[in-house]
Amino acid sequence: GQQVMQIPQYQHVQEGEDFTTYCNSSTTLSNIQWYKQRPGGHPVFLIQLVKSGEVKKQKRLTFQFGEAKKNSSLHITATQTTDVGTYFCAGRNSSNTGKLIFGQGTTLQVKP
């Protein structure tokens, strides 16, 4: 079945350093979403990418969708302690109507 792999599983950075998490799908995706889950909390939607090669920015966060629509990345510039949490990508392929397939998540720790 369709799989979405996400790496790394954990990342520890010093405050101010950059951070990147990568997401790869075994099949072509119609769109990809990114969610953030704070420790002890629930996932919260960040953004959706739909077009091949799409790049979107939210302040210090940059999201990319690959040209082949099989991979995506989230890059955080100059991390802050408020960035701590687990970041999930979630893909949807064109053959299913509602299901999202979630990656395993990348847990980010930021040392002040």
Partner 1 sequence: DGGITQSPKYLFRKEGQNVTLSCEQNLNHDAMYWYRQDPGQGLRLIYYSQIVNDFQKGDIAEGYSVSREKKESFPLTVTSAQKNPTAFYLCASSMPYRPYEQYFGPGTRLTVT
Structure tokens at 24: 């790869």
Q: Which is nearer to partner 1, 9 or 81 (CB)?
A: 9
Structure tokens at 13: 């950075």
Q: What x/- string results for residues 77 through 106 when contact with partner 1 is judged by CB under 8 A?
A: -----------x-x-x----xxxxxxxxx-
Interface with partner 1 (CB under 8 A), residue from 11, 24, 27, 48 = 48
The secondary structure of residue 78, as a DSSP letter, is S
Question: How many angstroms separate the CA atoms of 47 and 71, rounded?
Answer: 15
Interaction site with partner 1 (CB under 8 A): 1, 6, 9, 30-31, 33, 41-45, 48, 50, 88, 90, 92, 97-105
